[in-house]
Amino acid sequence: MNQSESIIPNAEQPSQIILLNPSDYEKWRGENSDIDNELSQNQGFAGKPGQTAWVKSSEKLSVLVGWDGEATLETLGNLPYKLPEGVYVVDKEIDLNAIIGWGLGAYSFDRYKKPSRAPAQLEIKNQQLREKALAIVDAVSLGRDLINTPASDMSPSHLEAEVFSLAEQFEASFNCWIGDELLDHGCGAIHAVGRAADDPPRLVDLQWGDESNPQVCLVGKGVTFDSGGLDLKSAAGMRQMKKDMGGAAIAIGLAKLIMSQNLPVQLRLLIPTAENSISGNAFRPGDVLSTRKGLTVEIDNTDAEGRLLLCDALALASESEPDLIIDFATLTGAARSAVGAEISAMFTDSDSIADKLFTHGETNSDPVWRMPLHEPYSSMLDSKIADLVNSSSSGYAGAITAALFLNRFVSNQTDWVHFDLMAYNTKTRPARPEGGEAMALRTVYSYLEEAYA
Ligand code: BES
Ligand code: ZN
Ligand code: ZN
């Protein structure tokens, strides 16, 4: 059993979850037996978030769960593995995000190791609410699975296969340029990053939906392993780099959700994917690449490879003049220094889109924080022999200069949002088990639903 079976329509005799904040708990004590009062107190319960206690308020055992009076993603998010296996029902009406929190908390990555137990299950009778929660949990779980799968089982061809199977499931059109085909189509940057690896680089392209709908294009950085290339990473820096296709995983999960919920958009999903590896034919510092946009790029550091994958994909995305382009990428360590591992850095020229995304991030407990596309810093990307360098040699503003690099490849006619994110939970928190995480997925979906549905 996994997260998809953790939310069910009905059960024989579910145990009750009684949500209580500190003052409700005082009231509850007045209305219940001395035994239950003592029991709950002995378990350290005071009605605070994160606390649970077993009581015998009726013939059956019930569980008290502390909260702050408002159901959020976190409210039930640690219960699936904190409570014993079995089915539970909440004594109050809870909203979509609390249900999603249960499903996300029930996730476990069990491809290589049997889970030690099944998650507890939640009964949700309301079919509409249950199905929507499950669709969102499914999209996030797909993203997590792709990120958690090591590079040996998640190479560019695996990522392509994931997108292909989605195309089949939702009757979308599918195209993929592989290896030297990338050169035939002007994508010299994607080709250069991936050509040293056994599994050739590629640009995967899925298109779905009614052509009369507004076109939304999702782009995700799909570096299946980032060794750093010839400017090799340190052992510590390389250790987590199976997650460097996190942006692709998020874009794929989000695309699945958009299609499963039939959002009235014309969707395009572009996944540039490559392994940043080394061998005799690896690209080098000092090389000059030609890109889809026609701009030439001098390589300053082969570890700044994500922007090279994205620049060709963003140029291609711009050619069909979509209404909106959103890219997701584990692009810079600098973004992690700026906003840490739990917040996604967001770049866009549109104040109104930024404000809306920020609000959706807050209401969905999937926070994003805007950073500036500060144009004067573009000069840090000047090259003496090409149109621009791929990374600035100054140690400053690494996330901003990376975003400004991408900006050069996006048409000014198109709204564009860029996310520089971690795609990984460094520790377990409610609804967020340690490991791969589809950050910004729920925020962007919630925004798209408001903007287009
Ligand atoms: N994939 C990394 C960025 C990264 C590192 C994201 C750790 C999240 C956690 C990216 O390809 C990279 O190596 N960026 C370099 C760029 C530098 C060479 C200009 C970085 O951020 O150090
Ligand atoms: Zn890198
Ligand atoms: Zn990378």
- Residue 3: pLDDT band (50, 70, 90) is confident
* Among protein residues, the one whose CA lies closest to atom 17 of ligand 1: 304
Q: Is 437 in the pocket of ligand 1 (CB under 6 A)?
A: no
Q: Is 312 in the pocket of ligand 1 (CB under 6 A)?
A: no
If asked whether residues 66 and 197 sit together in one domain, one would say no
Q: What percent of the chain has pLDDT over 90?
A: 97
Q: Is 330 in the pocket of ligand 1 (CB under 6 A)?
A: yes
Does residue 27 lie in a domain region?
yes
The whole-angstrom distance between residue 415's C-alpha and the CA centroid of its chain comes to: 21
Residue pLDDT, tens place only, 211-232: 999 999 999 999 999 999 999 9
What's residue 428's pLDDT?
98
If asked whether residues 91 and 17 sit together in one domain, one would say yes
For ligand 2, the distance from its centroid to the CA atom of residue 272, given in whole angstroms, is: 15
For ligand 3, the distance from its centroid to the CA atom of residue 229, given in whole angstroms, is: 10
Residue pLDDT, tens place only, 188-209: 999 999 999 999 999 999 999 9
Best residue among 310, 332, 381, 419 to mutate for probing ligand 1's pocket (most ligand atoms within 8 Å of CB) is 332
If asked whether residues 22 and 147 sit together in one domain, one would say no
3-state secondary structure at position 288: strand
What mean pLDDT value characterizes the chain?
A: 97
Residue pLDDT, tens place only, 70-84: 999 999 999 999 999
Does residue 133 lie in a domain region?
no
Exposed, middle or buried by CB within 10 Å (0-12, 13-18, 19+), for 191? buried
User: Which ligand is located closest to the Cα atom of residue 274?
Assistant: 3
Q: Does residue 42 register a pLDDT over 80?
A: yes
Mean of pLDDT values over 356-363? 98
The Cα–Cα gap between 326 and 328 comes to 7
For ligand 3, the distance from its centroid to the CA atom of residue 210, given in whole angstroms, is: 34
First vs last C-alpha separation in the chain: 33
Mean of pLDDT values over 237-258? 99
Residue pLDDT, tens place only, 268-315: 999 999 999 999 999 999 999 999 999 999 999 999 999 999 999 999
What's residue 244's pLDDT?
99
If asked whether residues 144 and 96 sit together in one domain, one would say no
Domain boundary among 82, 100, 125: 125
Q: Is the distance from CB of 399 to CB of 372 less than 8 angstroms?
A: no
In total, how many domains does the chain have? Answer: 2
Q: Does residue 441 register a pLDDT over 70?
A: yes
The Cα–Cα gap between 107 and 2 comes to 6
Residues pairing with 298 in the sheet = 288, 389
How distant, in Å, are the alpha carbons of 141, 153, 400, 416, 437 from that of 111? Answer: 13, 11, 37, 36, 16
CB atoms within 10 A of CB 135: 17
- CA-nearest of 286, 271, 314 to 403 is 314
* Among protein residues, the one whose CA lies closest to atom 13 of ligand 1: 303
- Which segments of 309-387 are extended strands (E)? 324-329, 344-348, 368-370
User: Which ligand is located closest to the Cα atom of residue 339?
Assistant: 1
Best residue among 303, 377, 421 to mutate for probing ligand 1's pocket (most ligand atoms within 8 Å of CB) is 303
Does residue 131 lie in a domain region?
no
State the residue range of the domain holding 50. Answer: 3-125
Q: Is 226 in the pocket of ligand 1 (CB under 6 A)?
A: yes
What's residue 200's pLDDT?
98
Domain boundary among 60, 90, 125: 125
The Cα–Cα gap between 188 and 182 comes to 7
Does residue 65 lie in a domain region?
yes
Domain boundary among 125, 159, 191: 125
- CA-nearest of 182, 6, 174, 167 to 101 is 6
Q: Is 301 in the pocket of ligand 1 (CB under 6 A)?
A: yes
Does residue 318 lie in a domain region?
yes
User: Which ligand is located closest to the Cα atom of residue 222?
Assistant: 3
DSSP string, 372-440: ---GGGGGGG--SSSSEESS-SSSS-HHHHHHHHHHTTS-TTSEEEEEE---EESS-BTTB-SEE--TT
| Token output for 369 | 């924080």
The Cα–Cα gap between 166 and 143 comes to 13
CATH code of the domain containing 24: 3.40.220.10
If asked whether residues 310 and 382 sit together in one domain, one would say yes
If asked whether residues 112 and 150 sit together in one domain, one would say no
What's residue 113's pLDDT?
97
Q: Give the residue numbers marked as catalytic.
A: 233, 307
CATH code of the domain containing 314: 3.40.630.10
Mean of pLDDT values over 404-415? 97
Q: Is 336 in the pocket of ligand 1 (CB under 6 A)?
A: yes
Does residue 447 lie in a domain region?
yes
Q: Does residue 2 register a pLDDT over 80?
A: no
For ligand 3, the distance from its centroid to the CA atom of residue 335, given in whole angstroms, is: 13
Q: What percent of the chain has pLDDT over 70?
A: 100
β-pairing verdict for 62-66 and 52-55: antiparallel
What's residue 1's pLDDT?
61
Mean of pLDDT values over 27-32? 95
Q: Is 334 in the pocket of ligand 1 (CB under 6 A)?
A: yes
If asked whether residues 420 and 279 sit together in one domain, one would say yes
If asked whether residues 248 and 305 sit together in one domain, one would say yes
If asked whether residues 301 and 188 sit together in one domain, one would say yes
Does residue 130 lie in a domain region?
no
Mean of pLDDT values over 407-426? 98
Q: Please, what's the b/e burial string for 232-254 (b: 16 or more CB within 10 A of its CB; e: otherwise)?
A: eeeeeeeebbbbbbbbbbbbbbb
How distant, in Å, are the alpha carbons of 123, 156, 288, 376 from that of 153? Answer: 35, 10, 32, 42
Q: Does residue 60 register a pLDDT over 90?
A: no
- Residue 85: pLDDT band (50, 70, 90) is very high
Does residue 132 lie in a domain region?
no
Please name the residue that has the structure tokens 């308020």.
57
If asked whether residues 101 and 160 sit together in one domain, one would say no
If asked whether residues 312 and 231 sit together in one domain, one would say yes
3-state secondary structure at position 83: coil
For ligand 2, the distance from its centroid to the CA atom of residue 427, given in whole angstroms, is: 23
If asked whether residues 345 and 210 sit together in one domain, one would say yes
The Cα–Cα gap between 413 and 301 comes to 30
- Residue 58: pLDDT band (50, 70, 90) is confident
Q: Which atom of ligand 1 is found nearest the CA of 233?
A: 13
Q: Does residue 4 register a pLDDT over 90?
A: no
